[in-house]
């Protein structure tokens, strides 16, 4: 029986945006991402962190070449209550795929441990039944892919 991990892919030239302290209420994420969608921006990863009872940070990742226009587009959305936008450039996404990923315990922990051993900080995480994606600084993408591929005995 083979490993649950079948493939490791990377995507370069990404950026992360954090909309700081937006109102935390039903529909705010729908408004934010519908507004981005109507502007033609493709969002590849999303995370939300609740700060207080009424405020939250919403982070998302997209191709770096669109980040300035995306932030400007969001500044016109009054319902966000004029948040501060923090942008981090030179990011990349590493994705681990496997059809059996959700049935084998400990894969996410193993991937995160491998990254930690190399002092690679994870900025954002997204998972599904068949994938684990992390947003990390772009210079670490290829070494991270090589490390994970070696650990799970995959060709690079």
The full set of domains in the chain, from first to last, is 7-12+91-151 (3.30.2130.10), 15-89 (3.30.70.260)
Q: Does the pTM exceed 0.75?
A: yes
Dump pLDDT digits (tens) for 43-91. 999 999 987 879 999 999 999 999 999 999 999 888 888 889 999 999 9
Question: How does pLDDT run across 10-53, given as a tens digit for each residue?
Answer: 999 999 999 999 999 999 999 999 999 999 999 999 999 987 87
Q: What percent of the chain clears pLDDT 90, i.e. is strictly above it?
A: 83
* Predicted confidence band of residue 102 (pLDDT cuts 50, 70, 90): confident
Q: Encode the chain in three state secondary structure.
A: CCCCCCEEEEEEEEEEEEEEEEECCCCHHHHHHHHHHHCCCCCCEEEEEECCCCEEEEEEEEEHHHHHHHHHHHHCCHHHCCCEEEEEEEEEEEEEECCCHHHCCCHHHHHHHHHHHCCCCCCEEEECCCEEEEEEEHHHHHHHHHHHHHHCCCCC
Task: Examine the pLDDT at 1 and tell me if it is beyond 50.
Answer: no
């Amino acid at each position: 029986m083979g490993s649950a991990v079948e493939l490791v892919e990377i995507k370069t030239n990404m950026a992360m945006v954090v909309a700081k302290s937006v109102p935390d209420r039903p529909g705010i994420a729908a408004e934010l991402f519908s507004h981005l969608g109507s502007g033609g921006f493709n969002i590849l990863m999303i995370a939300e962190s609740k700060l207080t009872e009424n405020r939250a940070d919403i982070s998302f990742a997209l191709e770096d070449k669109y980040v300035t226009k995306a932030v400007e587009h969001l500044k016109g959305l009054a319902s966000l209550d004029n948040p501060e936008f923090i942008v981090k450039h030179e990011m990349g996404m590493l994705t681990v795929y496997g059809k059996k990923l959700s049935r084998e315990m400990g894969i996410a922990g193993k991937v995160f441990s491998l990254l930690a051993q190399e002092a690679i900080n994870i900025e954002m995480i997204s998972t599904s039944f068949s994938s684990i994606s992390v947003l990390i600084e772009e210079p670490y993408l290829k070494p991270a892919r090589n490390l994970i591929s070696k650990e799970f005995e995959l060709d690079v």
